[in-house]
């Protein structure tokens, strides 16, 4: 299978679904990570252009940990909007990878505007990618990908429907998160905690819910047509 995860910012995917992506790559599936914005406000001291370049390098390094294909869309951090041009760009990126599964931020339950906008865009275009009369540089996909929403940071507002046991892939997730050294500095200065520590707390909490050591949580929005089985294609917590 082919699995594509979209994050609004560098490190969003790593925080909320990297363990699941690592399980997929370990099983021989193809994985891609797409980042919508350049993270240019994610520093208390560095100028926008400098931190954006650093965050792209960090995100690429994190994707390389699991040999994921990487897409950098480069929109301004905190100013992502669901416009025709952005939709067209995302449609073409999805068509380039041609996923069976798309994982995105929750458009309804997340609390960050860039996250909800990313989720809304993926919701809006996940059928459009198959429509021939919506032209991009890449030909239309042959099938509608299954769409799943990933957990929110700290699990706030999120109501999981499926938990994935990531105990075996936690070391890879932690390694991917550690690539985001600029955000370790940012979080320590802003909140007194680190990116890996935060992720560990949440993964242990979701693991407690799922009866394992570490887990990630997801929910599946309902739409028509929905051609895949009701439990979806995500690997179960018992794989």
Per-residue model confidence as pLDDT tens digits over 96-146: 999 999 999 999 999 999 999 999 999 999 999 999 999 999 999 999 999
> Tell me, what's the pLDDT at 48?
87
In a domain, 229, yes or no: no
In a domain, 48, yes or no: yes
Residue 92: which H helix or E strand, with range?
Answer: helix 84-97
Query: pLDDT at residue 152 above 80?
Result: yes
Task: Supply the range of the domain harboring residue 101.
Answer: 2-219
Number of compact structural domains in the chain: 1
Structure tokens at 223: 């739409």
In a domain, 227, yes or no: no
* Distance in angstroms (rounded) separating the CA atoms of residues 237 and 239: 6
The strands making up 146-150's β-sheet, listed across from edge to edge, are 69-75, 30-37, 2-7, 101-104, 146-150, 215-219, 162-165
User: Taken in order 33, 38, 42, 46, is the CA torsion positive or negative?
Assistant: positive
Query: pLDDT at residue 148 above 50?
Result: yes
> Tell me, what's the pLDDT at 229?
60
* Distance in angstroms (rounded) separating the CA atoms of residues 231 and 186: 38
As a whole number of Å, the CA-based R_g of the chain is: 17
Average pLDDT over residues 18-27: 96
Of the listed ranges 191-195, 196-200, 215-219, the one predicted with least confidence = 191-195
In a domain, 29, yes or no: yes
Query: pLDDT at residue 218 above 90?
Result: yes
Average pLDDT over residues 154-180: 95
Q: How do residues 48-104 score in pLDDT, each as one tens digit?
A: 899 999 999 999 999 999 999 999 999 999 999 999 999 999 999 999 999 999 999
- DSSP secondary structure letter of residue 10: T
- Residue 237: pLDDT band with limits 50, 70, 90: very low
- Residue 32: pLDDT band with limits 50, 70, 90: very high
Query: pLDDT at residue 44 above 90?
Result: no
**pLDDT exceeding 90 applies to what percent of the chain?**
80
Query: pLDDT at residue 238 above 80?
Result: no
In a domain, 148, yes or no: yes
- Residue 217: pLDDT band with limits 50, 70, 90: very high
Distance of CA 201 to the CA centre of its chain: 19
In a domain, 215, yes or no: yes
Query: Does a cis peptide bond (omega within 30 degrees of 0) precede residue 235?
Result: no
> Tell me, what's the pLDDT at 41?
82
In a domain, 143, yes or no: yes
* Distance in angstroms (rounded) separating the CA atoms of residues 116 and 119: 5
In a domain, 122, yes or no: yes
Q: What is the pTM of this model?
A: 0.93
Average pLDDT over residues 170-178: 97
CATH number at residue 28: 3.40.50.10320
């Amino acid at each position: 299978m082919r699995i594509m995860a979209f994050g609004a910012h560098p490190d969003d995917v790593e925080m909320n679904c990297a363990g699941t992506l690592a399980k997929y790559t370990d099983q021989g599936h193809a994985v891609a990570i797409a980042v919508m914005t350049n993270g240019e406000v994610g520093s208390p001291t560095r100028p926008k252009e400098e931190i954006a370049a650093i965050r792209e390098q960090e995100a690429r390094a994190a994707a390389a940990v699991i040999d994921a294909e990487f897409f950098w869309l480069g929109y301004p951090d905190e100013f992502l909007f669901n416009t025709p041009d952005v939709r067209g760009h995302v449609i073409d990126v999805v068509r380039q990878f041609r996923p069976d599964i798309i994982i995105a931020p929750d458009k309804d339950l997340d609390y960050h505007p860039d996250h909800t906008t990313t989720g809304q865009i993926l919701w809006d275009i996940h059928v459009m990618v198959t429509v021939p009369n919506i032209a991009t540089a890449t030909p239309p996909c042959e099938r509608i990908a299954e769409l799943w929403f990933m957990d929110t940071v700290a699990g706030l507002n999120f109501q999981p429907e499926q938990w994935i046991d990531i105990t075996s892939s936690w070391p890879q997730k932690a390694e991917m998160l550690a690539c985001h050294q600029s955000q370790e500095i940012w979080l320590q200065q802003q909140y007194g905690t680190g990116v890996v520590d935060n992720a560990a707390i949440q993964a242990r909490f979701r693991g407690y819910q799922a009866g394992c050591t570490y887990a990630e949580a997801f929910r599946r929005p309902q739409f028509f047509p929905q051609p895949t089985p009701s439990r979806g294609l995500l690997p179960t917590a018992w794989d």
